[in-house]
Amino acid sequence: MNGTAWSALAVNLAVCAATAGAVLLATFAVAVRRGLHRVVDIAWGLAFSAVAAVTWLLSAGYGNDSRRLLATTATILWGLRLAAHIARRSRGHGEDPRYTALLDKGPGNRTLYALRAVYLGQASLVWLVSLPVQAASYSSAPLDLLAFCGIAVWALGLAFEAVGDHQLARFKANPANRGRIMDKGLWAWTRHPNYFGDGLVWWGLYLLSCTAWQPALAVLVSPVVMTLLLTVGSGKRLLENHMSQRPGYAAYTARTSGFIPLPPRRTLRGTSESTK
């Protein structure tokens, strides 16, 4: 990446920060009007897609077109699939208990706290996590083995996430499963196949951006932060705190890996599953 490309990337970073902020602020306005902050989960994927689209437009003439196309397409596909899935899952439901609990603990004005802690916080994370997409689009290096490995990891992650979501949606659609714990399919190997898939997606995009040690080291923060968010941040930890009192969940956690897929441990079978 030459000096001109570095300067263009710096501009891209600034524009993408504004883009992520604009998407989340628009979502905040919709949420306040509807009195429903769970809509921010839909905006998460849309904001990444918007950042990728803006980067595609701004990086024209700077990076290798094949790498640009792969980075942009991979991010938009992931973001739109995730947004569509969450929109379908949320239809007809009220506020997410996680947001209710978070905002109930917030100091001062509830709406302003939501703006700071949820919307501006997520806009910052979108910008940070999307660094590999932006960096990859400004690299002039031709596609190599590492890039193809990155796309393979991304594809595995997207498939894992999509299959897990589909399996859970089918399980929950059956009234006979109401109040039970989903422990079939991918959910027998990991309690969070969707989160594990998310993690793989961003490690794959990181590999796609690794064309020199400087940018590779700089954007390593992206998959690391995403993995931490999914495992100890607002993903796995909050969901499991919410699920911990459900009948059969303790037995499910005893036999099922918390994140990385592993064969189920042999233990007493609990009930057959939940409403994740």
Which band of pLDDT confidence, cut at 50, 70 and 90, is reported for residue 257?
Answer: very high
End position of a domain, from candidates 141, 161, 192: 141
Q: Does the structure show a pLDDT above 50 at 273? A: no
More confident residue, 17 or 236: 17
Query: pLDDT by residue (tens digit) across 122-159?
Result: 999 999 999 999 999 999 999 999 999 999 999 999 99
End position of a domain, from candidates 96, 125, 141: 141
Same domain for 28 and 116? yes
Q: In the prediction, which pLDDT does 269 show? A: 45
Q: In the prediction, which pLDDT does 276 show? A: 44
Which band of pLDDT confidence, cut at 50, 70 and 90, is reported for residue 242?
Answer: low
Which band of pLDDT confidence, cut at 50, 70 and 90, is reported for residue 268?
Answer: very low
Same domain for 128 and 157? no
End position of a domain, from candidates 74, 106, 141: 141
Which pTM was predicted? 0.90
Phi-psi category of residue 92: left, alpha or beta, with phi > 0 → left and psi -120 to 50 → alpha: left
Our count of domains for the chain comes to 2
Q: In the prediction, which pLDDT does 235 show? A: 62
Same domain for 37 and 69? yes
Q: How many CB atoms lie within 10 A of CB 209?
A: 28
